[in-house]
Structure 1
Amino acid sequence: MDLFDHQLIPVRLTGERQSQIAFWPNWLDNDRADSLLSQAINHIDWRSDVIRIAGKTIPIPRLQQWFGAPKTSYTYSNIRLQAVAFPDWIEQLREQVEVQSGERFNRALVNYYRDGSDSVDWHADDEAELGFEPLVASLSLGAERVFQLRHNLTQERLDISLPHGSLLLMGPGIQTYWQHRIAKTKKVDQPRVNFTFRYMAQ
């Protein structure tokens, strides 16, 4: 685990205020990242959810699962995810992300992009239950995909390639002033799993 080799990327929120993205492109070595990718794909009980757009029911273009305290849930885009208790291997990963980032996390949304046709559209992780200016730590495993950010007012764009085993921490205010996505691509035919760790008070 690479504790020191990281980049701090300044991100403008408003004319007077900035935040940062902390990025560890080589946080996990290849053997550990390979093992976690295989374990995630084969042992997480993946959900296939749907959303309603313009009166039509459409499968979301990825699989997912929500981990946290039992009997709690998380809702976004009218999808309610009942929490699954952290298995020991994800709990260990959560603790390591906390040590690396110096932040506290007690929930994780895990997404499985089966190939480049799976994606997530522009959004922000700004649901009220995540609290004021939530921090999000994102661990990427598998195929390298481009993480795109877009400023809500200026439409400024920022692209970050997320390699296998990388860790990215979005700082305060980024969910308020920016949206992000993983776009579809025909250049990728391999799977990617993304752990996004968050904190919820309840």
Structure 2
Amino acid sequence: MAASDLFDDDRASSPDASRLRPLDLAGADLRYAERAWPRAEADALYVALRDEIPWAPHVLNIFGREVAAPRLSCWIGDADAVYVYSGARFTPLAWTPTVARLRDMLRERHGLVFNSVLANLYRDGRDTVGWHSDDESELGAEPVIASASFGAPRTFRLRSRRTREAALSVELAHGSLLVMAGATQRLYQHALPRRAGVAAPRINLTFRRIDARAG
């Protein structure tokens, strides 16, 4: 089945849908472009990423037990971009051609420079990621994280770290780009909850900059 069949929708994009526009979230720096990549390009990128990336279970250490996360993942980046998360140490695989092309697009179009990316494959609406902040020391005090989405739309939620109250929900569209910066990780947690009725997969790439000296 073609990507255009899996992710078809009737939404009409506004003329500025490709531009990063600020989202209203107190104290945070959050920007979103609904159509960072035009439909045909997003379809082609989804297929290339699906086929190029060596997807594997994401194993986490939770209370001393190794548990497979409800999604498939791959850590990709420069050789020294080692990432430690939830008790596991991830040594990056080499950049694939399409992931490297997206990294270069982010630098050329938005001036964002990254040396690593966490790729996640959500196979259907049952695959999720729980509440967390990307605040590991190797990401720095105010990390910039660019989240590119291809495939089935899913709801991205944010809540206050202090009160746990819901703060914002964003529908991440096929071909969209969400950039989190400033105090976003310090003030908020984010999650991708289950979504009933979603049978199609979604690929999400969260580009990051790892400081190897801080790990």
1:19-34 correspondence to structure 2 within 5 Å: 19-34=28-43
Check the 8 A contact 2:62/2:86 in 1, yes or no. Answer: no
Q: What corresponds to 2:204 in structure 1? A: 194
For 2:94, what is the secondary structure of its paired residue? coil
* Offset at residue 161 of structure 1 (A): 0.1
Q: What corresponds to 1:98 in structure 2? A: 107
Q: What corresponds to 1:128 in structure 2? A: 137
1:153 matched to 2:162: yes
Check the 8 A contact 1:98/1:104 in 2, yes or no. Answer: yes
Q: Amino acid of the residue matched to residue 188 of structure 2? A: W
- Aligned counterpart for 2:182 among listed residues 172, 175, 179: 172
Q: What corresponds to 2:117 in structure 1? A: 108
Q: How far apart in 1 are the matches of 2:174 and 2:210?
A: 27
For 1:65, what is the secondary structure of its paired residue? strand
* Offset at residue 72 of structure 1 (A): 4.0
Considering only aligned residues, what root-mean-square deviation do their CA atoms show, in Å?
1.7
Q: How far apart in 2 are the matches of 1:72 and 1:139?
A: 19
Q: How far apart in 1 are the matches of 2:64 and 2:92?
A: 28
| 5+ residue gaps, structure 2 | 1-15
* Offset at residue 56 of structure 1 (A): 4.5
- Aligned counterpart for 2:71 among listed residues 51, 56, 62: 62
* Offset at residue 160 of structure 1 (A): 0.2
**CA distance 1:45–1:25, change in 2 (3 Å):** same
**CA distance 1:151–1:101, change in 2 (3 Å):** farther
| 5+ residue gaps, structure 1 | 13-17
Deviations 1:52-73 (A, max 9, x none): 4355543200011111112542
Q: How far apart in 2 are the matches of 1:129 and 1:160?
A: 27
How many aligned positions are there? 196
Deviations 1:93-121 (A, max 9, x none): 10111233322211111100000010000
Q: How far apart in 2 are the matches of 1:60 and 1:44?
A: 18
1:117 matched to 2:131: no
Check the 8 A contact 2:130/2:193 in 1, yes or no. Answer: yes
Q: What corresponds to 2:11 in structure 1? A: none
Deviations 1:15-55 (A, max 9, x none): xxx23211110111111111111111122111213234355
Q: Amino acid of the residue matched to residue 157 of structure 1? A: A
**CA distance 1:41–1:88, change in 2 (3 Å):** closer
Q: How far apart in 1 are the matches of 2:208 and 2:185?
A: 12
Q: What corresponds to 1:10 in structure 2? A: 24
